[in-house]
Structures are given as structure tokens and as C-alpha cells.
Amino acid sequence: MDEFLAALAMLPVGYGEGCFAGRRYGVTLAAAPDGRRLRLFGEELGGPDRISFNLYRLGDGTPRLKPCEMPAAKVVAFVLGYRPDRPGGAS
């Protein structure tokens, strides 16, 4: 989970485009004002693939990953392998 969280923290908030597994994606990363939830939605540009999840920070700071209708492994692989066109960070 640490590697996943570190990779997620490097993604820019807002909409951006980049590559995963040789394919182009449009990705939106939104952070709640209180910092307790991140939401990511990614869509393969010109293709059928989608990535969607929420990451919650519980009261004690523990992260809780909630993929949307897909295996957690798919979400983790995407975040670890996605390369945005512009660098940033979702602090």
C-alpha cells in the first residue's frame, strides 16, 4: 500500500492525460477539502477501459481503498504504471 500511496501522491489534481500500458488515458483526480478522500476516474482515450476508485482516510489516518466495480489489483496496477503528461502531486 505504501508504494501505491506514494505513486498516487505524485499525480496532479484535476484533469490530465497520460499513458498506461502503452495506451492514452484521460484522468481526473479530485481531493476533498478536508483531505480525507481522493477520487480518481480514468478513461482510455479512444478505447473501452475505465479506472475508478475512492481512497478514504479513516479517523486514525488509515487509508481505505474502495474500487468502483473492479478489482483492487487493477486500480493499484494503474496507479503504479500510469505516467501523466504533466508532473504534479495530490498532497
pLDDT band, residue 88 (cuts 50/70/90):
low
Domain assignment present for 12: yes
Domain assignment present for 89: no
- Mean pLDDT score of the chain: 94
Maximum alpha-carbon separation in the chain: 41
The pLDDT of 17-41, averaged and rounded, is 96
Residue 51 pLDDT exceeds 60: yes
pLDDT band, residue 91 (cuts 50/70/90):
very low
- Rounded Cα distance, 40 and 29, in Å: 4
Strands 14-20 and 83-84: antiparallel
Q: How many domains does the structure of the chain reveal?
A: 1
Q: Give residue 12's domain range.
A: 2-84
Domain assignment present for 70: yes
Domain assignment present for 56: yes
Residue 87 pLDDT exceeds 80: no
Burial class of residue 25, CB neighbours in 10 A (0-12, 13-18, 19+): buried
- Rounded Cα distance, 40 and 67, in Å: 10
**% of the chain surpassing 90 pLDDT:** 89
Domain assignment present for 90: no
- For residue 23, what are the β-bridge partners? 20
Domain assignment present for 13: yes
